[in-house]
Amino acid sequence: MTIDEAVFERHSVRSYTSKPLTKEQIEELQSRITNLNESFALHMQLVLNDDVAFSGRLAHYGSFKNVTNYIAVAGQKSVAGCEASLDERSGYAVANLVILAQMLGLNTCVVGLTFKKSSTIEINDDEKLELVIAIGFGETQGVQHAMKPATRIAPDYDSAPDWFKKGIDYVMLAPSALNQFKAKFTVDENGHVFAKARFAPFAKVDLGIFKYFFELGAGKEIFRRSMQTLRSSDVI
Ligand SMILES: Cc1cc2nc3c(=O)[nH]c(=O)nc-3n(C[C@H](O)[C@H](O)[C@H](O)COP(=O)(O)O)c2cc1C
């Protein structure tokens, strides 16, 4: 599956089969997590066979079934020399991982609220747990979320250049907290793109996710540098 196919085929999945992840899938995920942690000052962890995080009332409320594998997304709250907040850095890395998982034949759901913090997840003193990503072989492939008009996040979409439009088209397929898409993207006459979060729960995590999807669609690395820490210049 190509990266573009993964963008179109990814949908949140909340019910999983008991089929374990393969050795190759685990290795690919671990390796990407290590790279992303280094680049974005995060402490993401792949947790396998945990029956705590999705066992409680909240998971039931969120209609989760048989989630035993997930990626815990934690990271340093602030990093000297890095422009982006933990929320944004997390979102950018989360987007990278849900697309990788889809390409590996796995399903995912980003979960900010409806899970319980498990003691298996390591959080250091200067870190915060942002969210988790449920991951595994889904009972289904999920369904396309209700699409919002592109002008919701890009008011000047109709008069914008084609590459910008394609970036926004990809953003509209991204996971978004409560499917809200609370962000605003604009482009000036020099082709500089500006992206801002509006006020809503998880809006800054969403912004990081949208920036990653925008880059995939537009075919330009516009936001990566501001998201990375100074410690690493790896290209993932
Ligand atoms: C930051 C963030 C937090 C989320 N938190 C939850 C959650 O707590 N529970 C849940 O069931 N889904 C959660 N979701 C999944 C969204 O509901 C889902 O992405 C959205 O409805 C769009 O659907 P799609 O992912 O199938 O495109 C979250 C998504 C994001 C991006």
Q: Residue 93 C-alpha to ligand 1 middle, in angstroms?
A: 15
Co-location of 96 and 22 in the same domain? yes
Residues 76 and 116 in one domain: yes
Does 178 map to a domain? yes
Mean pLDDT over the full length of the chain: 94
CATH number at residue 44: 3.40.109.10
Q: Based on the fold, state whether residues 155 and 129 are members of the same structural domain.
A: no
Nearest to residue 72, comparing CAs of 133, 28, 123, 141?
133
What pLDDT, on a 0 to 100 scale, did the predictor assign at position 56?
79
> Considering its fold, how many domains does the chain have in total?
2
Q: What is the enclosing helix (H) or strand (E) of 214?
A: helix 203-218
CA of 191 to the centre of ligand 1 (A): 31
Task: Categorize the per-residue pLDDT at 79 as very low, low, confident or very high, splitting at 50, 70 and 90.
Answer: confident
Ligand 1 center to 108 CA (angstroms)? 10
In a shared domain, residues 103 and 175: no
Nearest 10 degrees: Cα torsion 180, 183, 189, 193: -110
Residue 235 — very low, low, confident or very high, per pLDDT cuts 50/70/90? very low
107, 136, 165 — which closes off a domain?
Answer: 136
Answer yes or no: is 236 within a domain: no
CA–CA gap between residue 215 and residue 226 (Å, rounded): 13
pLDDT of 91: 98
159 lies in the same domain as 127: no
Q: Is residue 119 part of a domain?
A: yes
pLDDT band at 230 (very low <50, low <70, confident <90, very high): low
pLDDT of 93 > 60? The answer is: yes
The pLDDT > 70 percentage for the chain reads: 97
Q: 159 and 122: one domain? A: no
DSSP one-letter string for 115-178: S---TTS---TTEEEEEEEEEE-BSS---PPPPPPGGGT-TTGGGS-HHHHHHHHHHTTS--GG
Between CA 232 and CA 35 the distance in angstroms is: 9
Answer yes or no: do 208 and 132 share one domain.
no
Mean pLDDT of 7-14: 98
Q: Whose CA is nearest to atom 13 of ligand 1?
A: 111
